Amino acid sequence: MVDATSFSSPLPPQSTTVYHNCQTYNLQRLIVLLCRKLEGASKRGADVAVANLLCLLRILLQDLMEHLTPAQLQAFLSWPAPGSPHKVAVERDAQEEEQTPVEQQLVGACLRALVARNDPAASAGEYLTQLHLLQLLLVMLSTQLYCQDLDEQGLELPLLAAVLEQSEVDPVSVVETLLRLVIVGPQAPLGLRLFLPTDTRAILRAVRAAASSLVWLPMSAFSFLLRRQPAAPGQSPLGLHACLLLLTLCFHALPGEGAEGALTVRTPGPYRLALHGLRDADDAEATAAAAEDGRGALGRGPRASFPALFACLTREPVAPPETALLLYLVLHDGGDFRGYCLARTDPEALLLPLLGALQREDAGRGDRGAVYVLLTLLLAFSSDAGWAAALHRVWLEATPPWLKGRARAKQPLGSLALSVLLRSAHASVARHGDAFLQTNTLAVLANLAPHVTGLTSEAAQRLVSLLALLARRWRRLAADAAGLTTMAAAVGNPATAADGTPEATSLAVSESTSAAAAESAQLAHDFLRMALESASAVLERALPANPALVYALLHRGELFEGLPRDDPGLRVPLANILAVIDHFTRALARSLGEGAAALDAGTVMAAIRHDSRAWRGDRLQRGADLHFAYEEGLQAHSFFVPCVWARVVAASSLSWDLDAISLFTPEGAVGCSI
């Protein structure tokens, strides 16, 4: 039994009654009372009293989780055993509830109430009840936050296990309800004011309203007229918390039967399995076919309007991290939704918010977890050749709003994508040295390269600058590795002095250090090879359509002279690039004379366009057809679970004790610090 001495820190005053629970069992009584209230609310409608009860229980449970171990929490929630000296008399009508574990009662009542609510914005009581239901479920799942190792053997998380193992409510219904809330994004009814602890502007807003109410009256009236419009998940408290809860439920993986090598095998949970059967509610044929062949986790799958879901995920000019995570989830596991996205004729609607988010993270030196998710999404889309080719057929008439101060004439969507990707790749090489970021960025670049047309000057210059950076890095690491190998050999075979004794050496280089340096040099070589092959692929397939790349190569021609032409990995792409540089250098000298180097860029570009008309593609060797696809790894949960919880802590309107969190290291509760 748990008493006050079990807590690792002083007891918060707001939960004093709970700490005497071993004699009173008031917490269990409170949970039973809440379950009855929720059952009654599903028939008569919810009121603010039910919402307040949900809020109270959420605060108590969250406080307990921050101070108790999972085993202590399980004991704390249990009814007393028969014959226990702490056995207390309970109400006659509570005897049946006492036979069922209290956490199972709570989970079942909450999920039944969640799927039963059809119009959360009907009244203030309904809205608050739905919001506090979502928050309570998030808190019940948050036992993960206080565990350092998700794969720890024998780890039992009582409330989380109750949610994942419950059988009263179909997971398909839960997923469908949460998706509906995300898509609709219900806003609070008029007159309902929500307390959001993360909103630091409340005082300033009150002062402003008091000081200038007359000035802001027209703005308030305009906002009143538009208030009923659907909001994005981040703008609607219900939509945001439904999104966070759906991510938390789906990304938790269950322990598998065994291990594959040294990696623990995890199996998808019931809610992610339910998402596999996602189908378009607007597609009557797909719905009929699904009913016939029994698709879905339990014979059927959740239904959602794909156009509405797509509009919800692309509503923001810059995709929030939780929206990017949800997009990954429905793309990877969402039945036919990936095919729907790829079949659309407006790739800019999906791509621009992702590029804006990638630009934001790179410009602000944001967390790498968000960048991982964005690059994974871009890799998943670019692996489809039709989608990659469509990017270069779309021309943007206006500059995206996230490109502040960089307005330019219309440009191909593909060139903008390459420009942002190359900027991200340059940042990952120069700042992070993160092999995963560099690999994924170059993989997306390789998927897009065969389809590039109309490459802008900015994108071409970024590509050549990246080649220069990778070449310098490879040379430096290769020289360091060669030096360490030589020194390691000298240490292993010391020189012999005249008297026959080995000479002492003050420098001892271990074989492991030499091997690590050689591995880093090889990795840098592979990155340089991928970038050179991407540039070569653009030249092989569409040189006349990309004069800006030819100009950028001519401008930095000395970069490629210093690379080894006999290197097996670099030989073909390097030979193609040097052939292009040589051909156009001679062509410009013939057409513009010896003073070609002193001419302005416009004249040189015009000459390149003219000479490109006579270009024959057979002058270049055909390189390898690079194509990369995304496959989720065995231990993907070790990344996604902390990343999702970092977003819950950062974005939800709940207050968290950051010092108690062990799953990741909160940095001001912003980002995925994993």
Q: Which two tokens stand for residue 198?
A: 């993360």
Please determine, for residue 407, whether its predicted confidence score (pLDDT) is greater than 80. no
- Those residues whose C-beta lies under 8 Å from the C-beta of residue 403, and which sit 6 or more positions away, are 359
- Those residues whose C-beta lies under 8 Å from the C-beta of residue 60, and which sit 6 or more positions away, are 15, 18, 27, 30
Please determine, for residue 133, whether its predicted confidence score (pLDDT) is greater than 50. yes
Q: Could you say which DSSP state residue 344 is in?
A: -
- Those residues whose C-beta lies under 8 Å from the C-beta of residue 147, and which sit 6 or more positions away, are 70, 155, 157, 662, 663
Per-residue pLDDT at 494: 53
Q: b or e along 396-412 (b: 16 or more beta carbons within 10 Å of the residue's beta carbon)?
A: beebbebeeeeeeeebb
* Dihedral sign (CA 94, 97, 98, 99): positive
> Burial, 287: exposed, middle or buried (Cβ in 10 Å; 0-12, 13-18, 19+)?
middle
- Predicted TM-score of the model (pTM): 0.85
What are all long-range contacts of 429-437, with beta carbons under 8 Å and residues at least 24 apart?
429/466, 429/469, 429/470, 429/473, 429/527, 430/469, 431/365, 432/368, 434/368, 435/523, 436/372, 437/368, 437/371, 437/372, 437/375
Kind plus residue range of the DSSP H or E element containing 457: helix 457-492
Nearest CA-CA partner of 416 in 355, 361, 358, 464: 355
C-alpha 261/C-alpha 199 separation (Å) is 47
What values do phi and psi take at 276, rounded to 5?
-60, -30
Per-residue pLDDT at 667: 62
Q: Give how far Cα 232 sits from Cα of 154, 183, 196, 241, 534, Å.
A: 40, 8, 17, 12, 37
For the CA atoms of the chain, what is the radius of gyration?
31
Q: Which two tokens stand for residue 653?
A: 């309107």
CB atoms within 10 A of CB 192: 15
**Looking at this protein, which amino acid is placed at residue 135?**
Q
Per-residue pLDDT at 191: 72
Nearest CA-CA partner of 174 in 253, 283, 275: 275
What is the three-class DSSP state of 268?
strand
Which of 22-26, 97-101, 435-439, 647-651 bottoms out in mean pLDDT, i.e. has the lowest? 97-101
- Those residues whose C-beta lies under 8 Å from the C-beta of residue 316, and which sit 6 or more positions away, are 232, 234, 323, 353
**Looking at this protein, which amino acid is placed at residue 303?**
R
137, 245 in Cβ contact below 8 A?
Answer: yes
351, 391 in Cβ contact below 8 A?
Answer: yes
475, 563 in Cβ contact below 8 A?
Answer: no
Q: Give how far Cα 669 sits from Cα of 142, 258, 356, Å.
A: 15, 35, 22
C-alpha 330/C-alpha 285 separation (Å) is 21
Nearest CA-CA partner of 169 in 104, 103, 119: 104
Torsion angle defined by CA atoms of residues 241, 117, 48 and 122, in that order, rounded to the nearest 10 degrees? 100
Which of 53-57, 76-80, 92-96, 456-460 bottoms out in mean pLDDT, i.e. has the lowest? 92-96
pLDDT tens, 151-183? 664 557 888 888 988 888 999 999 999 999 999
Q: Which two tokens stand for residue 277?
A: 């059967």
C-alpha 527/C-alpha 426 separation (Å) is 12
C-alpha 626/C-alpha 618 separation (Å) is 19
Confidence of residue 598 (pLDDT cuts 50, 70, 90): low
Per-residue pLDDT at 601: 82
Q: Give how far Cα 18 sits from Cα of 63, 128, 342, 414, Å.
A: 10, 24, 53, 59
Confidence of residue 633 (pLDDT cuts 50, 70, 90): confident
β-strand pairing of 303-304 with 279-280: parallel
C-alpha 534/C-alpha 514 separation (Å) is 31
Q: Which two tokens stand for residue 281?
A: 């509610």
Nearest CA-CA partner of 271 in 294, 242, 302: 302
C-alpha 243/C-alpha 254 separation (Å) is 21
- Those residues whose C-beta lies under 8 Å from the C-beta of residue 227, and which sit 6 or more positions away, are 187, 190
Write the Ramachandran bin of 299: left for phi over 0, alpha for psi from -120 to 50, otherwise beta.
Answer: left
Q: Which two tokens stand for residue 564?
A: 């080894």
Write the Ramachandran bin of 304: left for phi over 0, alpha for psi from -120 to 50, otherwise beta.
Answer: beta
Per-residue pLDDT at 201: 41
Write the Ramachandran bin of 303: left for phi over 0, alpha for psi from -120 to 50, otherwise beta.
Answer: beta
**Looking at this protein, which amino acid is placed at residue 276?**
H
Please determine, for residue 104, whether its predicted confidence score (pLDDT) is greater than 80. yes
Q: Which two tokens stand for residue 395?
A: 């021309």
| E strand residue ranges, 513-627 | none
CB atoms within 10 A of CB 92: 7
Half-sphere exposure of 241 (CA within 13 A, CB side): 22
User: What integer is the mean pLDDT of 196-223?
Assistant: 42
pLDDT tens, 462-519? 999 999 999 999 999 888 887 766 665 555 555 554 555 554 444 444 666 778 888 8
Which of 6-10, 21-25, 438-442, 551-555 bottoms out in mean pLDDT, i.e. has the lowest? 6-10
Per-residue pLDDT at 257: 53
pLDDT tens, 520-541? 889 999 999 999 999 999 999 9
| E strand residue ranges, 361-488 | 395-396, 411-412
Kind plus residue range of the DSSP H or E element containing 279: strand 279-280
pLDDT tens, 277-319? 899 998 766 556 655 555 444 447 899 999 999 999 999 888 9
